[in-house]
Structure 1
Amino acid sequence: MTEHSARRWHNHWTHFLAFGFGSGALPKAPGTFGTLAAIPVFLVLAQAPFWLYAVLVVLAFVLGCYLCDWVSRDMGVHDHGGIVWDEFVGFWITMMLVPVSWITVVLGFVLFRFFDVLKPWPIKWFDQRIHGGIGIMIDDVIAGVFAWVCLQGIVWVAGF
């Protein structure tokens, strides 16, 4: 990757979205900052009925497969750390059907980052074997599902 390509996140809509509105361009922990940037969008999405929320997340996944593939090829780097659209979608999956409160948002954030960073089986298996845009997206989708299951259990036990 060249310095020029790293600065391109704001020059084209595909880079802008793939870099999470610029959150992925931060020099340290872009995945964490990308997930943080997904929170305000989640708070807007959470106002929608579940069917619309689900449709938008599916569309964001499909768009993400395209974005991540296009931008990684354009930059010449598979799964560049600054590409964080996958974190957006993974976090939104984590938060599906969860009552919105600062506690659930923090728990969802921590759980999603835990599974996204550690990549327990089968997340790591998919991450290593599937390439292109879907490969960039799929590990975060699975991490989001794992985090969702855990968060649903916590919400159920704690009675949020």
Structure 2
Amino acid sequence: MSTKYLLDPADRRRLLASPAGWLACGFGSGLAPKAQGTFGSLAALLPWYLLRDLSVPAWLGVIVLAFAIGVWACDVAGRILGVADHRSLVWDEFVGQWIALLPALLAPWWAVFAGFVFFRLFDVWKPWPIGWFDRRVKGGFGVMLDDAIAGLFAAIVLFLVLRLAT
């Protein structure tokens, strides 16, 4: 059985054999040997970049749909691995990163870098209420929720930084 930190080859195969597992591990980005959350957040930048010209309402729709699919995928993948919030499950980083980058849709290039950094800081640091939800809400919804809140915090900080920069 997996631990929260190690993923043996059999678990890796079982995870990637399932559409839910493939999505939950961020199309493989969560299978990095270290810093899985950072690799997941970096991988989230490619679809964000490809879809950056969407309107804000369309982006909100993408985020809501991705969150809902992530609840299902992370729940299934967690059961496959026997660990509800295994480090290899990084779809929550995709959604959290997209939330964090909402203010960067019409901003200069450096805002993407700043949004990435702010999201990673909030995701790792987990200030209240992020850490509270991370400890208490379980299953696929719990996996997704704390990163969505971290993304919201990062988006607020990025918005404020952009306002101060103009």
| Residue identity (%) | 46
Matches within 5 A, 1:47-66: 47-66=53-72
Deviates more, 1:86-95 or 1:39-48: 39-48
1:107 matched residue in structure 2: 114
Whole-Å separation in 1 of the counterparts to 2:118 and 2:103: 15
Deviates more, 1:145-154 or 1:37-46: 37-46
1:33 aligns with 2:39: yes
Aligned partner of residue 102 in structure 2, secondary structure:
coil
- Which deviations, in whole Å up to 9, do the C-alpha atoms of 1:2-26 show, x marking residues without a partner? 6211343432221111111100001
Are the aligned partners of 1:93 and 1:141 in contact in 2 as well (CA < 8 Å)? yes
Whole-Å separation in 2 of the counterparts to 1:61 and 1:20: 13
2:157 matched residue in structure 1: 150
Displacement after TM superposition at 1:100 (Å): 4.4
Whole-Å separation in 2 of the counterparts to 1:142 and 1:120: 10
From 113, 131, 142, give the equivalent of 2:138: 131
Whole-Å separation in 2 of the counterparts to 1:84 and 1:146: 18
From 58, 61, 79, give the equivalent of 1:73: 79
From 89, 92, 100, give the equivalent of 2:98: 92
Are the aligned partners of 1:19 and 1:83 in contact in 2 as well (CA < 8 Å)? yes
Whole-Å separation in 2 of the counterparts to 1:89 and 1:100: 19
2:23 matched residue in structure 1: 17
Whole-Å separation in 2 of the counterparts to 1:51 and 1:28: 35
Whole-Å separation in 1 of the counterparts to 2:108 and 2:11: 38
TM-score by length of 1: 0.95
Displacement after TM superposition at 1:142 (Å): 0.6
Unaligned 5+ runs, structure 1: none
Runs of 4+ off more than 3 Å: none
Whole-Å separation in 1 of the counterparts to 2:149 and 2:120: 12
Aligned partner of residue 21 in structure 2, secondary structure:
helix
From 114, 121, 124, give the equivalent of 1:117: 124
Letter in 2 for 1:66: W
TM-score by length of 2: 0.92
Tell me the C-alpha RMSD between the 2 structures.
1.2
